[in-house]
A and B are shown apart, each in its own frame.
Chain A
Amino acid sequence: MSEPAATPKVVTYAALTGIGLLAAVVFGDGAIVALAAPFGFALVLGLLAPVDPLPEIHLALDALRLVEGGRATIALELSATSRVSRCDIALALPAALAAEVPTAWSLRLDPGSPVVIEVPITAASYGRFVVGPARAHVSGLFGMLSRAGEGGTLELEVRPKAEALRTLVRARDVRATAGDRLARRPGDGIEFAEVRPYAAGTPGRLNWRMTARRGEPYVNLRHPERSTDLILLVDTFSASALPRQVRAASGLAAAYLSRHDRVGLVAFGGVLHWVEPAMGRAQLERVVAALTTTEWHHSYAWKSAETIPSRALPRTGLVIAISPLEDPRLLNALATIRARGVDLAVIEPTGPRRAASSAATRSVAGRIIDLERAEMRLGFGRRGVPIVAWQDGDSLEAPLAALAVWRRQARGRGAR
């Protein structure tokens, strides 16, 4: 149990009493003591009176993991071994956890009858948070002495709210392992592809009807079902767009993993961290847990694609970068990744859709920045990297559909 400590009020009242006594001595006027006497009385009484003990504090949460927007209840249990006439309790909560009731209480505690306070909270943002501690404060008579203590902390993980996606971008290459994607090259599969004249080494089954009609062997070709690799490259250089990027990456990871693809994550920014590609529910847990702790870290250090481990960024498979394309380090890394021949697509989170302002009302600087960014996008487009804008407030389906169209048209043009 903490010992009672003097509050700043003791110093103030002692000073007022001292000033009165000093003035009485200096001016030889005993009546001045009467003016300061109440402060001296209160000081002496306050210092002599005992201070109630601090209560025991226990914190509990009905859920240790939430999704953004989810609700949980914190139970704060207070118990005392002797009567506490007044105890002030304040519960520290991170700003991202919004409490629906006050988080400071003033209450009386009796021995043998613990008090339980329930605090419903709503997770406004994703992240890993510490709930608590609950700080207790018990004051003595006139607030001259007080005991202060704290107790109980809990960890709460709030995961990003992912959008359920139906439109997905197909990777250029597939892996040799089975999955849900139809490979372009014919092989053993379920989905019918075409009928071809038989040649040595052609996979597929003989089409008896066609063979009988044409007089030479024909075979049915099918598309084999294969899995792909998806690497989500999240730009953590920009703080403002990071929550949207994390939510998008979370949704994409869930959608691709549900289709038996391998998914990996690279968070590229002030601090680099990655999750190597793998498949299954455990991988979804790993990716979402990594995204939950993804933060913006300010850094002037130069970062390039060479800092990303090769096993986290395989050459086969699709890399979807989610970035506002503002930091030159990331632009350089994207260019390097593409130069290695990696299949790359970029989703660019932008602000809410606004009415196009006329050239006269826009500043010259603004127009120059727009031109530079347009030139940058064209440059990536020429290298076979589509960049699609994702307006704030829109579904992620829209940029994914645009990406799919761009890549289909590019395939038609023969681009790789």
Chain B
Amino acid sequence: MSSSERRFRALAAGLSLAGASAVAAFGLTQASAQLAAPVALAGVGGAVTLAAALAGKRKRPLAMGLVLVGTAVVVGTLHETASTRAGVLAIAGAVLFCSAELADLSLAYGRQVEYRRGVRRFNPAGILGVAVASGAASYGAASTRGLVAGGGPAALAGGTVAAVLVVILARTLLRGRVT
């Protein structure tokens, strides 16, 4: 593996770990005093598992690390209002998805490969597109739920815009066939 490959791999792994750790830390800061200990345990455990998977080049523990970090943020935001919590979890989900993709990308670089001209190593637009689309869908769903619960025209408008955004992004991704 060349030095540029090694740098690329380290950068992807570092970004992945930083994203997951940020989500875990956010969950811990939002946690109430009674739940701080289990949230900290889940968050730190998740980050450590993720780091171990990246260092050991093993894909299986990645999912376990993501589940633990997700648990930390879910438990940590229990006392928030429903709408705030939906938004926070949507953002956390998007960040964790980006972390998972970066970790997968990092683990894919294990040997000496020559990249010919015209080949895209990875597609950040695709990853971010799905993350944003997912967040928008979540927001749309939450707004629609608010409408059903008597949330008014604002909820309807928000939900519609979010749904349209999701459709456009999904269509763009499918047409572009990005890898």
- Known contacts A12-B59, A37-B134, A41-B134; is A105 also within 8 Å of B177 by CB? no
Verify if A33 is at the interface (C-beta below 8 Å from B): yes
In the complex, what distance in Å separates the CA atom of A48 from the CA atom of B173?
11
CB-CB under 8 A from A140, the residues of chain B are 177, 179
Asked whether, in the complex, the Cβ of A48 is within 8 Å of the Cβ of B174, the reply is yes
Asked whether, in the complex, the Cβ of B174 is within 8 Å of the Cβ of A38, the reply is no
Asked whether, in the complex, the Cβ of B94 is within 8 Å of the Cβ of A45, the reply is no
Tell which of A15-23, A194-202, A318-326, A349-357 binds the partner: A15-23
Verify if B67 is at the interface (C-beta below 8 Å from A): yes
B111 to A, closest residue via Cβ: A104
Verify if A85 is at the interface (C-beta below 8 Å from B): yes
Asked whether, in the complex, the Cβ of B173 is within 8 Å of the Cβ of A141, the reply is yes
Verify if B137 is at the interface (C-beta below 8 Å from A): yes
In the complex, what distance in Å separates the CA atom of A29 from the CA atom of B114?
48
Asked whether, in the complex, the Cβ of A16 is within 8 Å of the Cβ of B63, the reply is yes
CB-CB under 8 A from A103, the residues of chain B are 112
Interface string of A6-34 (1 = CB under 8 A from B): 00110010011001100100000111111
Tell which of B44-52, B81-89, B150-158 binds the partner: B81-89
Interface string of B70-99 (1 = CB under 8 A from A): 100110000000100110011011101100
CB-CB under 8 A from A111, the residues of chain B are none
Contact of A31 among B86, B94, B104, B131 (CB under 8 A): B86
Interface string of B140-152 (1 = CB under 8 A from A): 0110010000000
Contact of B70 among A15, A20, A108 (CB under 8 A): A20
Verify if A142 is at the interface (C-beta below 8 Å from B): yes
Asked whether, in the complex, the Cβ of B89 is within 8 Å of the Cβ of A31, the reply is yes
Contact of A30 among B92, B119, B145 (CB under 8 A): B145
In the complex, what distance in Å separates the CA atom of A30 from the CA atom of B130?
20
CB-CB under 8 A from B177, the residues of chain A are 49-50, 52, 85, 140-141
The residue in B89, B135, B174 that gathers the most chain A C-beta atoms within 10 A of its C-beta is B89
CB-CB under 8 A from B93, the residues of chain A are 34-39
- Measured CB to CB, the closest approach of chain A to B97, in angstroms, equals 3
Asked whether, in the complex, the Cβ of B92 is within 8 Å of the Cβ of A35, the reply is yes
Q: Considering only CB atoms and an 8 Å cut-off, how many residues of chain A contact the other chain?
A: 44
In the complex, what distance in Å separates the CA atom of A118 from the CA atom of B134?
44
Verify if B133 is at the interface (C-beta below 8 Å from A): yes
Asked whether, in the complex, the Cβ of B96 is within 8 Å of the Cβ of A38, the reply is yes
CB-CB under 8 A from A107, the residues of chain B are 115-116, 118-119
In the complex, what distance in Å separates the CA atom of A346 from the CA atom of B121?
60
Asked whether, in the complex, the Cβ of B116 is within 8 Å of the Cβ of A34, the reply is no
- Known contacts A35-B70, A37-B138; is A141 also within 8 Å of B118 by CB? no
The residue in A37, A39, A105 that gathers the most chain B C-beta atoms within 10 A of its C-beta is A37
The residue in B62, B70, B104 that gathers the most chain A C-beta atoms within 10 A of its C-beta is B70
CB-CB under 8 A from B86, the residues of chain A are 30-31, 34
Verify if A143 is at the interface (C-beta below 8 Å from B): yes
Contact of B118 among A33, A35, A108, A139 (CB under 8 A): A108
Verify if B66 is at the interface (C-beta below 8 Å from A): yes
Verify if A359 is at the interface (C-beta below 8 Å from B): no
A101 to B, closest residue via Cβ: B114
CB-CB under 8 A from A34, the residues of chain B are 86, 89-90, 93, 134-135, 138, 141-142
In the complex, what distance in Å separates the CA atom of A16 from the CA atom of B69?
12
Interface string of A330-358 (1 = CB under 8 A from B): 00000000000000000000000000000
- Measured CB to CB, the closest approach of chain B to A168, in angstroms, equals 47
B112 to A, closest residue via Cβ: A102
In the complex, what distance in Å separates the CA atom of A50 from the CA atom of B174?
8
Asked whether, in the complex, the Cβ of B94 is within 8 Å of the Cβ of A141, the reply is no
Asked whether, in the complex, the Cβ of B104 is within 8 Å of the Cβ of A105, the reply is no
Asked whether, in the complex, the Cβ of B130 is within 8 Å of the Cβ of A41, the reply is yes
Asked whether, in the complex, the Cβ of A35 is within 8 Å of the Cβ of B89, the reply is yes
In the complex, what distance in Å separates the CA atom of A167 from the CA atom of B131?
78
Asked whether, in the complex, the Cβ of A142 is within 8 Å of the Cβ of B74, the reply is no
Verify if B170 is at the interface (C-beta below 8 Å from A): yes
In the complex, what distance in Å separates the CA atom of A23 from the CA atom of B75?
12
- Measured CB to CB, the closest approach of chain A to B80, in angstroms, equals 9
In the complex, what distance in Å separates the CA atom of A8 from the CA atom of B94?
21
- Measured CB to CB, the closest approach of chain B to A52, in angstroms, equals 8
CB-CB under 8 A from B117, the residues of chain A are 108
Verify if A397 is at the interface (C-beta below 8 Å from B): no
Contact of A12 among B62, B111, B170, B173 (CB under 8 A): B62
A8 to B, closest residue via Cβ: B59
B residues sitting closer than 8 Å to A (CB atoms) are: 59, 62-63, 66-67, 70, 73-74, 82, 85-86, 89-90, 92-94, 96-97, 100-101, 104, 111-121, 126, 130-131, 133-135, 137-138, 141-142, 145, 170, 173-174, 177-179
Q: Which are the 4 A-B pairs with shortest beta-carbon distances? A: A38-B97, A34-B138, A107-B116, A38-B134
CB pairs A–B below 8 angstroms (6 shown): A33-B141, A34-B138, A38-B97, A38-B131, A41-B133, A142-B126
